Amino acid sequence: MSFKSIAFCKLPHSSEIFIYSGSVVKSNILEFELTEVPKFIVTKGLTPEEFFWISGDVDSAPLNSDVTELLKEHLNWLEDYQNSEYNSQSKITSQHQFSVEIERIKTAISNLEVEKIVAARIIQKDLHNQHFGVDSLVSWYVELCANYPDCLVYLFVDDELGIWIGASPELLFEREKSGFSQTVSLAGTLFGDSEVWSDKEKLEQSTTSRHINEILNDFNVVAEVSNVKERKNGSLRHLISQYSFQTKSNQILGLLERLNPTPAVIGYPQKAALKWVKANLELNRELYSGAVGIVSSHNTLIHVNLRCAKVYLNQKIDLYAGCGINSMSDPAREWEETQLKSEIIGSFIPNLKYP
């Protein structure tokens, strides 16, 4: 059976879904060819230098009552293929194993190997022979679009990379045709309205800000930076500051190469943290914590691939979640944080009871 890769992508504050279909091409980020027409791209969490992008047709549809049937038509061939071809190789981490990982990270921090590391795990939902096919997948995607209007919401299907769905709140890089550009420093998590920001969360957010400042200085970019504010995502609260600046089109790929992955998803310093995670943590993140969005010479909008899941139709769903670890982290709280983060999209899974 021939396989055509496909992506549905709703941009933040948009009522339109872009539909990309064709073959997936891989290239190094700095060798990526920018065109006027935006291309849908993803990167892997631990190999950020590689771009996977769809080379093919681009269409769009309004997010209305008719869109569900349209999206199903685009995927009507998928269910039989998925049932026969896909197998999960994911690793599930127990709470004890996760706590051990966090203590190892804290030891590395105390030994001054790194300042911060982001731990991640999979929360797996076994479908227990329940039917979760194309209809359910599309229903889930449309529900996420409706409930998270300020997120980049995507559904990506590829023979090699699998089926991925996500609703990311975190902007990595945005550039308009005028050159006006933005990024954000988003980090630190509280669980409810009654909790108060501590030094632990403030340090997480300031570390991400330091990373952005260093990169913009290297590019001789002067940014306007907002005060640190609070942003809600589902039941969670995060600290965020916004960076606004001007860039040239020939700076797009260089900035993306340096910004991704941010300390919010890998740690700090960036290169040392990435090396440490690859050498010491067992989870294969695949597309989780990579980049996802659209790239062109005129309009670019890339988010960090958070609040995402890999789907094995009629088998199981792997929800990915992570948490920033510094010297003040508590393993039990970090475990709970990843559980709550997985529920942001997991609670919308149709035909599946979510505990």
Tell me the pLDDT tens digit for each residue of 129-153: 788 999 999 999 999 999 999 999 9
CB 273 within 8 A of CB 267: yes
Decide: helix, strand or coil at residue 221.
coil
Q: What stretch of H or E contains 294?
A: strand 291-295
Measured distance between the N- and C-terminal CA atoms of the chain, rounded to whole angstroms: 37
Segment 48-104, tens digit of pLDDT: 999 999 998 999 999 998 999 999 999 988 877 655 445 555 678 899 999 999 999
- Rounded mean pLDDT of 270-288? 95
Count of CA atoms in the C-beta half-sphere (13 A) of 156: 30
Q: Name which CATH class applies to 5-346.
A: alpha beta
* Sequence-separated (6 or more) residues with CB below 8 Å from residue 209: 185, 225, 241
- Which residue in 143, 164, 175 sits closest to 311, CA to CA? 164
- Percentage of the chain lying above the pLDDT 70 cut: 96
Please give the Cα distance from 230 to 237 (Å, whole number): 7
Segment 232-268, tens digit of pLDDT: 888 889 999 999 999 999 999 999 999 999 999 999 9
Please give the Cα distance from 353 to 355 (Å, whole number): 6
Tokens at 240, concatenated: 């965020």
CA distances in angstroms from 276 to 104, 121, 258, 306, listed in the order given: 11, 16, 18, 20
